[in-house]
């Protein structure tokens, strides 16, 4: 059982709006704008203050600000929220992950003064970054990162490994050093295969293979594929024990809608059994802990599909 006093880490999603269209992100269908049921909203500072108390924040060692459906750059109060979190607990390590493709110089300069660390996800160079990070450009992301670094901020260049960009790692690492990034990090991914679509549903790029997806999307095809994905998810990793990552890290997730979950994977309700099982409100930390413990209890006998998929573990 998890107690409130056990929690040492928070994962915050400040916005479910996004300026990008990354294929295989759950907020779209392979880059084609399609809402799978999530609410587009921003977590306001006022609402956050009703969810987490000052006493609770003072026990938190680490806060990760990273999008499940959106990016923190889309929240107009991002700077104010981070400033408040640092004011409440100056010892908390705050780490942000972003596509970095929006906002002006003043925004990035203000962030640089708050003593946080930012991962800029730059997935290639001028000719490759936008292939996955659709609707962002290499030039703008690098310009924002340099503004942040020059103003005193600590930044890492995170580059996802794709077939179409891995030949550029050495050049990207060299540029990261020249631009004074603190680290250059290569990130592995399972999103390295499939068709990439534009806003009109036309296939414009293929990562490794197209999964037999059509050259032009239709609503009928999307609905059929979502049902297939749901059935695959429901039956994945049957029989595996659950090694809950959030329980091990003593972590809670707070979504842009203010709802609390054990982790970001559960918040999306991408598989039908999650939506069917979740019958409780999670508007407070107390309610979130109650829901967390229900998940842990269920996972000892009949694990949720997402828990099997992400935290299923063979007993060797």
Q: pTM for the complete prediction?
A: 0.94
CA 88 vs CA 7, 182, 254: distances in Å: 16, 27, 18
pLDDT digit string, tens, across residues 148-196? 999 999 999 999 999 999 999 999 999 999 999 999 999 999 888 899 9
pLDDT digit string, tens, across residues 106-146? 999 999 999 999 999 999 999 999 999 999 999 999 999 99
- Which residues have a Cβ under 8 Å from the Cβ of 265 and sit 6 or more positions away? 306, 309, 310
Q: Domain of 110: which CATH number?
A: 3.20.20.70
Cα-to-chain-centroid distance, residue 162: 18
Collapsed DSSP state (helix, strand, coil) of residue 137:
coil
CA distance 26 to 274: 15
- Given a contact cutoff of 8 angstroms between Cβ atoms, the answer to whether 267 and 259 are in contact is yes
Domain count, the chain: 1
Q: Which domain holds residue 43?
A: 4-313
Give the pLDDT band (50/70/90) at residue 313. Answer: confident
């Amino acid at each position: 059982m998890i107690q409130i006093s056990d929690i040492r880490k928070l994962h915050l999603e400040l916005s479910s709006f996004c300026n990008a269209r990354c294929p295989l992100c759950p907020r779209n269908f392979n880059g084609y704008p399609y809402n799978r049921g999530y609410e587009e909203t921003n977590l306001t500072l006022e609402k956050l203050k009703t969810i987490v108390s000052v006493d609770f924040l003072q026990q938190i060692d680490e806060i990760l600000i990273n999008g499940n459906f959106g990016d923190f750059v889309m929240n107009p109060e991002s700077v104010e929220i981070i400033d408040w979190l640092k004011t409440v607990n100056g010892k908390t390590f705050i780490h942000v992950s972003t596509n970095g493709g929006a906002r002006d110089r003043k925004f990035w300069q203000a962030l640089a003064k708050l003593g946080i660390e930012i991962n800029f996800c730059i997935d290639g160079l001028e000719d490759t970054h936008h292939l996955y990070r659709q609707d962002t450009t290499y030039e703008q992301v690098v310009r924002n990162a340099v503004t942040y670094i020059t103003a005193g901020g600590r930044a890492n260049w995170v580059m996802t490994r794709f077939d179409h960009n891995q030949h550029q790692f050495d050049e990207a690492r060299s540029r990261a050093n020249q631009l004074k990034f603190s680290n250059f990090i290569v990130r592995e991914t399972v999103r390295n295969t499939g068709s990439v679509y534009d806003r009109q549903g036309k296939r414009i790029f293929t990562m490794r293979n197209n999964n037999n997806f059509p050259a032009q999307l239709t609503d009928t095809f999307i609905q059929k594929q979502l049902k297939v994905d749901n059935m695959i998810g429901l039956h994945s990793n049957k029989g595996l024990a659950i090694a809950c990552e959030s329980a091990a890290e003593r972590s809670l997730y707070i979504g842009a809608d203010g709802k609390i979950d054990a982790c970001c994977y559960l918040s999306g309700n991408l598989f039908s059994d999650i939506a069917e099982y979740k019958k409780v409100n999670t508007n407070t930390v107390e309610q979130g802990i109650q829901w967390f413990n229900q998940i842990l209890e269920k996972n000892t006998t009949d694990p949720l599909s997402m828990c099997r998929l992400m935290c299923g573990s063979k007993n060797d």
